[in-house]
Amino acid sequence: MVYKIPVSVLVVVHTADLQVLLMERADRPGFWQSVTGSVETEDEPLETTAVREVGEETGLDARLFPLRNWNKQNQFEIFSRWSGRYAPGTTHNTEHVFSLELPTALSVTLAPKEHLQYVWLPWRQAAEKAFSWSNAAAIRELPGRMR
């Protein structure tokens, strides 16, 4: 079995007026999140992971828009539901936070095995809807990260 590497990215996709894209997980209906995903190899650059995951989950090419590495990391315990994806004894994941600014709320193409539907919400509402504490915190931090 090939185990997942416990290093991931969180990409908050948003517009200049702070509309945030959230997607409902296919394996957990009612759980809404931003783009997330793990590095595929130990040497895959985080920016490459972010671009790949945005493409896989939304159909958008992140290379066409401003992608910002916040140089911020969150460490969290891996939910027992997903612990079997990781090598035995792996209990925590390190998540690296990015944002991707789009010119407007674009239509996205979801990966049906990953997400059921998507919604664009004002950042405060998106923060309330996100199921992950780190995702909600990143969305709340978004206004201060705008350049």
pLDDT for position 129: 98
**Which domains, and CATH codes, for the chain?**
7-145 (3.90.79.10)
Contact 31, 24 (CB under 8 A): yes
Spatial separation of the C-alpha atoms in residues 65 and 107, rounded to whole Å: 15
Amino acid residing at 68:
R
Say what the pTM is.
0.94
What's the pLDDT tens digit per position in 49-67? Answer: 999 999 999 999 999 999 9
SS (H, E, C) the chain: CCCECCEEEEEEEEECCCEEEEEEECCCCCCEECEEEECCCCCCCHHHHHHHHHHHHHCCCHHHCCEEEEEEEEEEECCHHHHHHECCCCCEEEEEEEEEEECCCCCCCCCCCCEEEEEEEEHHHHHHHECCHHHHHHHHHHHHHCC
| Confidence grade of residue 147 (pLDDT, cut at 50, 70, 90) | low
Residues 104-118 have pLDDT tens digits of 999 999 999 999 999
